[in-house]
Amino acid sequence: AKGLGRAGYQFYAAQQSERARERVLLEGDLRRAIERGELELHYQPKVDMRTDRVVGAEALLRWHHAERGMVPPDRFIPVAEDTGLIIPIGEWVLRTACTAATHWNRTRRARGQEALKIAVNLSPRQFWSPHFVAMVRAVMHETGCRPEWIELEITESLLIDTRGQVSEILAELSRLGFTLAIDDFGTGYSALGYLTRFPISTLKIDRSFVNEVATHPARASLVRAIVAMGHSLQLELVAEGVETHEQVQVLREMGCQLAQGWLYGRPQARALFEAAHAPAELP
Ligand code: C2E
Ligand code: CA
Ligand code: CA
Ligand code: CA
């Protein structure tokens, strides 16, 4: 607000308090969103670019607010994180994704198809809830879901946290059979040491790099370097936000195998994803 002048400052202050008021309103509504059944998971296909086969999906949270309509996750997830509501919401997300994965993979197995791997986003805050691993185990037990059907997406910020617990929790999750992916790779911290310190399986190359991979040579060089590093560390690579055939061509040529993005499919409600990728009846 520096140098705005009096009118400018008043405007700024009004905007800030409007934002604070908005957060308080959202928080109250978010508390009731689970019980009111306003949350929904959508699933975005993850595709093997060499075969065009769907190998999995990412579960993405949607909130259908009674009066406001769709509230985007970038608006309400920060509120959920600040207030701790991400803990019950995150548990609901995991249970819902595991229920779907179990159902889909049973029908796929009956049809002789490979299992889909479903990616679930985790907030750092969830790791600090006292019974996180116990909660995860309970959900797996309850839903009959196998850990190898689930990939847990974490952010780089979690890995640079110095609290010792992180590495114990990640090791425990890995021992249980979950794979771990680093989300938005390349946008966070450049300390790469953590890649060998933690049991990471997958790097998800951030959309901001993928966006320009076919049009911006310097960006392409960065992605090429990420892919080369990933290969030498035996990590799986997923390009996020793939929107064009040109991007696919470049990424494929670099040796990046997996992709998500609007070119292959937008996130869709369970019934639609299911009809396309795990139909109970043969068509
Ligand atoms: P993210 O985990 O990086 O998810 C990818 C985002 O990119 C999603 O936005 C997805 O809809 C969008 N996207 C996918 N393909 C394309 C594309 O080709 N072009 C463009 N322009 N966008 C694409 P969404 O669903 O709005 O989610 C935003 C963020 O909210 C997620 O980013 C994630 O950080 C967070 N989020 C979503 N669901 C959950 C959840 O269940 N738990 C937690 N903790 N965070 C979540
Ligand atoms: Ca993600
Ligand atoms: Ca991402
Ligand atoms: Ca993100």
What is the sign, positive or negative, of the torsion defined by CA atoms of 260, 262, 267, 273?
Answer: negative
Spatial distance between the Cα atoms of 190 and 205, rounded to a whole number of angstroms = 14
- Cβ 154 under 6 angstroms from ligand 1: no
pLDDT band at 14 (very low <50, low <70, confident <90, very high): confident
Residue 71 pLDDT class (50, 70, 90 cuts): very high
CA 262/CA 244 separation, integer angstroms: 8
Average pLDDT over residues 51-79: 95
Tokens of 98: 């595991």
Residue-wise pLDDT for 86-107, tens only, equals 999 999 999 999 999 999 999 9
Cβ-based neighbours of 22, under 8 Å, separated by 6 or more:
none
* Ligand nearest to the Cα of 184, by number: 3
Query: What's the average model confidence in pLDDT over 72-94?
Result: 95
Q: Considering only CA atoms, which residue is closest to atom 27 of ligand 1? A: 73
Is residue 2 predicted with pLDDT exceeding 70?
A: no
Choose among 70, 65, 89, 69: nearest CA to 79. 89
pLDDT tops 70 at residue 3: no
Which one, of 71, 70, 69, 62, lies nearest residue 41 by Cα?
Answer: 62
CA 281–ligand 1 middle distance (angstroms)? 31
Confidence of residue 190 (pLDDT cuts 50, 70, 90): low
Residue 154: predicted pLDDT: 96
Q: Comparing C-alpha atoms, which of 265, 264, 231, 279 is closest to residue 51?
A: 264
* Residue 181 near ligand 1, beta carbon < 6 Å: no
Model pTM score: 0.93
Ligand 1 pocket mutation pick from 34, 43, 60, 153 by most atoms within 8 angstroms of CB: 60
Nearest ligand atom owner, CA of 247 = 1
pLDDT tens-place string over residues 202-228: 999 999 999 999 999 999 999 999 999
Q: Evaluate whether 263 touches 90 at the Cβ level (below 8 Å).
A: no
Determine if ligand 1 sits within 6 Å of the CB of residue 182: no
CB of 265 shorter than 6 A to ligand 1: no
Q: Which atom of ligand 1 is nearest to the CA of 42?
A: 25
Q: What is the pLDDT of residues 253-267, one digit of tens each?
A: 999 999 999 999 999
Centre of ligand 3 to C-alpha 240, Å, is 6
